[in-house]
Amino acid sequence: MRILLTAAIWVAFAGGVALFTARRDARGPVVSFERGPAKGVFAVEVTASFAASPDPFALDTGDVKAAGLVVRVNGVEAIRSTTVEPGVAIRAEPVAAVVEGKNELFIEASPPQDQLSRRHAVRVRVLRDGEPVAERTFWSEPGSPVAAAFPLDVPAAPREEDAHDH
Amino acid sequence: MNRLLSLALLALAVPAAAEETRRPVIVCSTTQIADFARQVAGDRCVVKCILAPGADPHTYQPTPGDAEIVATADLCLENGLHLEGKNWMATLAKDRGKPIATCTEGIAPLELESDGEKVRDPHAWFSPVNAARYVNNITAALSKLDAAGKGEYEARAKLYLQQLRTLDAWIKEQFNAILPEKRILVTSHDAFNYFCRDYGFRSAAPVGWSTGSEVGAGMTPERRKSVIESIRSFGVKAVFVETSVNPKMVQELAREAGVAVGGELYSDSMGGPGTAGETYIGMMRENVLTIVKALR
């Protein structure tokens, strides 16, 4: 009798926990924060003050190749270049990963190993329909590559009905 | 009856728990490789090491216990370039039918000339740039073994590679305190060639590239004489013993040449748990500090 009682308590306890977990996970729909792509054609332009070359300390596993310059927009790669000439702009257009609202650009560029003791600069410009909307210059610390992230706010384009005259 | 019920419940619970916590097992030959693998794998894999801290990979004789460890492996990792004397790690993996990855793949090895024969130097991890190659090779091997964890392995590897870069820059800064002509590293065996190449040292060792009996390995009277001559002619302030090699020979050499023993360097094996040299970065840091203190 005691065994049956123990088993019944266990079943009731386990059932209760399972029911709670199932109901908790099945709570109302999650609010979606997905935003649509921003209106216009976006471009990213990068100019380095040095001849970037593949970094010996970069991740390079065969399918991920080491590069001298990498630019990501919201985690999506926009530029990956093994060699970069000093003063020569590298441009990616169109950059489809830009969305309305807050965005983030990440840039990584590695100077040649024999010039690591100096500070180096990388200029980044973001253009919308050919017009610059953001511009920043990043400097490296001696011994390190340039690695920086910067925010980019893209205001929502006015809705068509708002643009009509009444 | 109560006991039977408990056992039945336990029997149901245990396989489910085991299934949930089954992690890939990585068996490494050396302590350095095990450290790199832990940095990349995190808690996603179980990393085991055949060599104990302080053990010599050149002369190591595998035991039946090692074969049992390899039997649990999903992947084996070796240094390669014949660091593991008589290729003992590759043999253990082959005997148990386990896949093996070689961490020095893609590294341009230094060639040592000894007794008219050319030998490829296996101590590639002493260059942080080469250590980055080890980390990349391990990341690729783990990603292939456990594709679901690829993103995690790559993220950890990226962070660790940044630490290796910082280590490399820090070493260069530290050695700036030693005049270039004073940068002569005399150690027990010829293990520091990559290190010397990267940081502008000349190396000298009474024992060849291996402490074992391979071609170009061991000590010869000519090598010993040449090392003593180098110490005297270049005004070397100190010589160094290694943690994985008997210090007696270097101590005798120091006495004969009239120089001090500058300290103990981690070489083919890292330090034990709780020591400053229990990780690769710790081992390199301690070596550099020991060298700077003795040669400055």
Q: Are the C-beta atoms of residues A135 and A123 closer than 8 Å to each other?
A: yes
Model-level pTM? 0.79
pLDDT at B294: 95
B176 close to A (CB below 8 A):
no
Q: Determine, yes or no, domain membership for A144.
A: yes
Whether B177-295 and B2-167 are alike in CATH topology: the answer is yes
% of chain B at pLDDT higher than 90: 65
Q: Determine, yes or no, domain membership for A12.
A: no
pLDDT at A135: 93
Q: What is the CATH number of domain B2-167?
A: 3.40.50.1980
A57, B132: Cβ pair inside 8 Å? Answer: yes
Walk along chain B (296 residues) and give the pLDDT tens digit of each residue.
555 555 555 555 444 445 456 899 999 999 999 999 999 999 999 999 999 999 999 999 999 999 999 999 999 999 999 999 999 999 999 999 999 999 999 999 999 876 677 889 999 999 999 999 999 999 999 999 999 999 999 999 999 999 999 999 899 989 999 998 889 998 888 899 999 999 999 888 766 655 655 555 566 777 778 888 888 888 888 999 998 888 888 888 888 888 999 999 999 999 999 999 999 999 999 999 999 999 98
pLDDT at B2: 55
Chain B: residue nearest A142 by CA?
A: B169
Q: Determine, yes or no, domain membership for A9.
A: no
CB within 8 A of B220, min separation 6: which ones? Answer: B208
Chain A: residue nearest B156 by CA?
A: A59
For residue B180, is the peptide bond before it cis, meaning its omega torsion is within 30 degrees of 0? no
A61, B136: Cβ pair inside 8 Å? Answer: yes
Q: What is the CATH number of domain B177-295?
A: 3.40.50.1980
Q: Are the C-beta atoms of residues B210 and B218 closer than 8 Å to each other?
A: yes
| Nearest residue, CB atoms, B1 vs list A3, A143, A144 | A3
Interface predicted TM-score of the whole assembly (ipTM), two decimals: 0.80
Q: Residue B251's CB: how many other CB atoms inside 10 A?
A: 14
Binding-face residues of B in 100-129 toward A, CB within 8 A = 128-129
pLDDT at A161: 54
pLDDT tens digit sequence for A23-79: 666 655 555 566 677 888 999 999 999 887 778 888 888 776 777 889 999 989 999
% of chain B at pLDDT higher than 70: 88
C-alpha distances in Å from residue B188, one per residue of A66, A155, A162: 37, 66, 81
Q: Is A103 exposed, middle or buried (0-12, 13-18, 19+ CB in 10 A)?
A: buried
B143, A57: Cβ pair inside 8 Å? Answer: no
Beta bridge partners of A142: none
pLDDT at A13: 80
pLDDT at A37: 78
pLDDT at A27: 58
Closest Cα in chain A, distance from residue B131 (Å): 9
Strands (E), A14-130: 42-48, 69-73, 76-81, 90-92, 101-109, 121-128
Task: Quote the longest CA-to-CA distance of chain A.
Answer: 87
B162, A60: Cβ pair inside 8 Å? Answer: no
Domain of residue A112: give its range. 42-154
A contacts of B169 (beta carbons < 8 Å): 116, 142-144
C-alpha distances in Å from residue B156, one per residue of A99, B36, B139, B160: 28, 11, 9, 6
CB within 8 A of B15, min separation 6: which ones? Answer: none
Q: Which of B268, B234, B195 is nearest to B31 (CA)?
A: B268
B161 close to A (CB below 8 A):
yes
Q: Determine, yes or no, domain membership for A148.
A: yes
Where along chain B do its domains lie?
A: 2-167, 177-295
B169, A144: Cβ pair inside 8 Å? Answer: yes
* pLDDT over threshold 70, residue A146: yes
C-alpha distances in Å from residue A94, one per residue of A14, A41, A75, A89, B233: 55, 6, 16, 15, 65
A58 close to B (CB below 8 A):
yes
> Domain count of chain A?
1
A contacts of B139 (beta carbons < 8 Å): 59, 61
Of A102-106, A130-134, A160-164, B166-170, the least confident: A160-164
Over residues A9-21, mean pLDDT: 78
Closest Cα in chain A, distance from residue B137 (Å): 6
Q: Determine, yes or no, domain membership for A142.
A: yes
pLDDT at B3: 56
Q: Which residues of B71-106 are buried (b: 16+ CB within 10 A; e: fewer)?
A: eebbbbbbbbbbbbbeebbbebbeebebebbbbbee
